[in-house]
Amino acid sequence: MKYNSVRGTKDIYSPEIELWQYLEKTAIELLQNYGFSEIRTPIFEELALFNRTIGEDTDIVEKEMYTFNDKKGRSLTLRPEGTAGVVRAAIEKNLLVQGGLTKLYYQGPMFRYERPQAGRYRQFYQIGAESIGSDSYWRDIEIIVLCVEFFSRLGLAGLKVYINSVGCAECRPSYRSVLQNFLLENSAPLCADCQRRMARNPLRVLDCKVETCRQVITRIPAIQDYLCQSCRDNFQNIQQTLQKENIAFIADKFLVRGLDYYTRVVFEIKSESLGAQDAVAAGGRYDKLVKELGGPEMSAVGFALGVERVVEVLKKQKAGGWPETSGDVYFALLGQQAQQEAFTLIRDLRQSGLKVEACLENKSLKSQMRQADQYKAKFTVIIGEDELKKGIAVVRDMLTKEQKEIKLNDLVSILKELKLK
């Protein structure tokens, strides 16, 4: 009986996995440069946590969550995003200090029951970060700049930053009613979901991807005209600073996020190299969430990037090239005694940081040389009975095809030296 991976999931292996590792290493270094420390939270949480934070009328909560009962009847959900769990943990473990700033990053799989297609999976990976405890707009800028720097460290081009302000508790209600009235007057082309959202959470309509809805959305009154003075100043400051920092952006009055907890600035980064699923990273400010989850009144801002989509861009642009996957030394061994002698040397070389592989399966020299090629070894060491008798090994430079006899006693130090050159 053979089994297949579940629809919407994928296995990730070489050579693609090397791109993942390169991306992850780049991201983690960058996040640490910016003062974020890692937090790992569980993959499942109580259902209520996500209902409460993401919002009842959002796509995620309405139809995308993997929710199940465990054997004791607890209602649990595989996390569809990272922020809720991180904030839950930060409150529970007292990581938040009044008047202080807590900067946390996370990475790992998220789960959403969506229709699988290019760039959209049911298990997908995110890397994200949260700055909790500051309402300074510099923290919003810091997050946007960090994202932009991430793509530039990867050497990727063709990325665009879209920003908007979704207002605050003070000004959003008045925009909400303006929007609601507009939608009521223009409701005919709206999809069934939007008909419902229109009454319960009209801002959600702005995020709808259905074509007939998109046509209505292009005519809606812009939120900018309804922002309170403080949100207006805030958005102005952010735009001016981004300009000063030479970060190109597009102010997009229709941009809202698929989650309810955002306030003030929201942003999305899109890639020109991708098709319909072109958003590679997204984030924004959430000033009410910490209190909502029983923590102190604290403002926060964060982002998450979609790893699969960034990997796709890397593949398309091959910027920086595919990471090296070659090995350093391959041992072709003939006979049990050669295997025994070599094994100690191999341990030594591996310990000193070299990438070493060997054939320990009694194969012909020809097939072992083929394996050395597949391993992309820089050097192949050949040891058979004759070599053992003479106390030597044959070392073949796989690029120049040059072969040298080297004393077994000197082998480790010489290979280390050759590798260093």
**Chain residues that interact with ligand ATP, rule: CB under 6 A:** 81, 112, 114, 119-121, 124, 126, 258, 277, 279-282, 304, 306, 308-309
* Residue among 247 and 279 whose Cβ is closer to ligand ATP: 279
Distance CA 90, CA 102 (A): 9
* Residue among 120 and 153 whose Cβ is closer to ligand ATP: 120
* Residue among 154 and 369 whose Cβ is closer to ligand ATP: 154
* 330 contacts 357 by C-beta, under 8 angstroms: yes
Shortest distance, CB of residue 206 to ligand ATP, whole angstroms?
12
Residue in the shown chain whose Cβ atom is closest to ligand ATP: 306
- The neighbour count for residue 224, using CB atoms within 10 Å, is 15
Calculate the alpha carbon distances from 3 to 6, 7, 113, 264, 281 in Å. 9, 12, 21, 47, 33
Task: Give backbone dihedrals phi and psi of 89, rounded to 5 degrees, phi first.
Answer: -65, -40
- Sign of the Cα torsion 84, 276, 222, 245 reads positive
* Residue among 19 and 383 whose Cβ is closer to ligand ATP: 19
Shortest distance, CB of residue 103 to ligand ATP, whole angstroms?
19
- The neighbour count for residue 43, using CB atoms within 10 Å, is 15
Counted residue by residue, the chain has a size of 421
* Residue among 152 and 362 whose Cβ is closer to ligand ATP: 152
Shortest distance, CB of residue 207 to ligand ATP, whole angstroms?
7
Of the candidates 331, 345, 324, 342, which has an alpha carbon nearest to the alpha carbon of residue 416?
345
389 class by beta-carbon count within 10 Å (0-12 exposed, 13-18 middle, 19+ buried): exposed
Shortest distance, CB of residue 61 to ligand ATP, whole angstroms?
12
* Residue among 55 and 327 whose Cβ is closer to ligand ATP: 55
398's tokens: 């796989």
Shortest distance, CB of residue 277 to ligand ATP, whole angstroms?
5
Shortest distance, CB of residue 279 to ligand ATP, whole angstroms?
4
Angle, CA of 77, 81 and 86, to the nearest 5°: 95
* 194 contacts 211 by C-beta, under 8 angstroms: no
* Residue among 262 and 330 whose Cβ is closer to ligand ATP: 262
Shortest distance, CB of residue 392 to ligand ATP, whole angstroms?
55
